Amino acid sequence: MKQIEVVAAVIINKHNQIFCARRKNDGPLALKWEFPGGKIEQGESLEDALIREIKEEFSTTIKVKDFIMTVNHQYEKFHLTMHAFYAEVIEGTLTLNEHTDSKWLKREQLFTLDWAAADLPIVRKL
């Protein structure tokens, strides 16, 4: 079984809203909502991977803050380990380069979205 290790950012704005992004319409997680992030490259720290991924996918620079949790989830074709951190935007406006939609939601609104299964433990913790 393929093992994938990723990082995810729970980006919170000054209005205490959380940034949510919807995936492209392809693959097993098509159009599911997620906390943005991506795969860790060899030799990269979790924080550096998260900063790089947000820069690539959203043309935005973030500051990685506190660790939230690590989620281990078994999808049908792969096992995912995801490390989630709080983050804040320090430069840029979160431009969608790879995602199809985004929303800023209050914590109590998060359950209105169709989340990727691995992101649900983070939603519950928030």
pLDDT of residue 27: 82
CA dist list (Å): 5 to 22, 42, 104: 20, 11, 26
DSSP string for residues in 53-122? HHHHHHS-EEEEEEEEEEEEEE-SSEEEEEEEEEEEEEES----SS-SEEEEE-GGGGGGS-B-GGGHHH
Supply φ then ψ for residue 64, to 5 degrees. Answer: -80, 130
Looking at the predicted structure, is the pLDDT value of residue 126 above 90? yes
pLDDT of residue 1: 79
Sign of CA dihedral 14, 61, 52, 28: positive
Q: Is the pTM of the predicted complex or chain greater than 0.85?
A: yes
Residue 95: pLDDT band (50, 70, 90) is very high
Q: Region 14-24: what's the mean pLDDT?
A: 96
Looking at the predicted structure, is the pLDDT value of residue 80 above 90? yes
pLDDT of residue 48: 97
**Size of the chain in residues:** 126
Residue 49: pLDDT band (50, 70, 90) is very high
pLDDT of residue 30: 85
Average pLDDT of the chain? 95
